[in-house]
Amino acid sequence: DANGFFNRLAQALADNPPEPADPHALKILSDLGVTPDQPVKLPAASEAIAAGLADGHERVVTPPSNLLTGNGWSWFGDSVGNYGPDYALRAYAAYAQPGIGTKDDEVRAVVTQDSDGHALNGANRYVIHFAPNQLPPVRGFWSITAYTKDGALGESAPARIAVGDRNGARRNRDGSLDVTVSSTRGKSGNWLPAPRADLQLVLRLYAPKPQATDGTWQPPAVVRQ
């Protein structure tokens, strides 16, 4: 509830000092009775506080307008990790991708639907086709992993759980690359094992190049075969 949330926040503020952009937010919190490492006494306006708490929960899970999207994938752009007063983006990042670094560290693109807008499911077979000039732009390496909808690996996940440029992904003769996603092995050498249930795919780019976060590059669509 609101009391529990703000008391936990007040305790955390003592060990997590504010950023230079935060004084305005701290003033609002102080007006509510929230100060670092002190018990919180919220105003006696239970209906307004309950409504604000519900609104806050809804805002946290709502993708912000500066989230990058393309071909069904979503990922954070240049502002990730350096939020300033952009609390909507900071909160959504903490909710959707805990521990995400800055744009220079890692990009995680997530997709839950195929090119037709249907939920991904490991009982089907999908292909992700990277054109020769559209491979993930990285200075480090990249990989794709399939997870259940709640972010876990499948119950019978094999030893090989990812496909990427550091674990044997083979290109086609023209330089393009195809990744096949399914719960059952196919003929493709770039087979990504998937749980036999609704799933999500996570494409990780380590030490990404600028085009991965400035909107000039997009992961390709996931096409059902």
Print pLDDT tens along the chain (225 aa): 888 999 999 999 989 888 888 999 999 999 989 999 999 988 888 888 889 989 999 999 999 888 999 999 999 998 888 888 899 899 999 999 888 888 899 999 999 999 999 999 999 999 999 999 999 999 999 999 999 988 877 665 555 689 999 887 999 999 999 999 999 987 777 999 999 899 999 999 999 999 999 999 999 999 999
Check: CB of residue 209 under 8 Å from CB of residue 107: no
DSSP label at residue 46: H
Q: Domains in the chain and their CATH numbers?
A: 2-60 (no CATH), 68-224 (2.60.120.600)
Show the CA angle centred on residue 8, arms to residues 87 and 61, nearest 5°. 40
Q: Would you state the structure tokens that stand for residue 160, as one six-digit string? A: 């090989």
The predicted model scores a pTM of 0.85
